[in-house]
Amino acid sequence: MARAEIWEGCCVIRFSDQGDGIRSDWIDKIFDEFAIRSIMHHQKGRGLSLAISKYIMELHDGTIHAESTPGNGATFILRVRAIITSHFWRSDSG
């Protein structure tokens, strides 16, 4: 599931799944380069995806973090400053 909202001047995007979740001792490490490669159920890739995601968010003065309860999936939360102009919200209906 994905959800986006504007909150306190930021665009907040949440991606949730209903997988195995992330153990509490891993939640602070998953954004480190190559760390996720050691997680048992992670089979593909090199373990850089979340590290790259964090780097991209930081380049845009944003943040990314995860919340999880093992057995109940995980939610990844991206937050970046929203730049909204009246042109963005203009209605074409008249």
The DSSP-derived string for 21-82 is ---TTTTTTTTSTTGGGGSTT--SS-S-HHHHHHHHHHHTT-EEEEEE-TTS-EEEEEEEE-
Write down the domain spans for the chain. Answer: 23-66
Over residues 21-76, the pLDDT tens digits come to 888 888 888 898 876 555 555 555 556 788 899 999 999 999 999 999 888 999 99
Give dist(CA 33, CA 50) in Å, integer.
8
Task: Take residue 27 and report the two structure tokens written for it.
Answer: 């939640």
Which of these ranges, 1-5, 8-12, 38-42, 45-49, has the smallest mean pLDDT? 38-42
pTM, two decimals, is: 0.75
Give SS3 for 15: strand
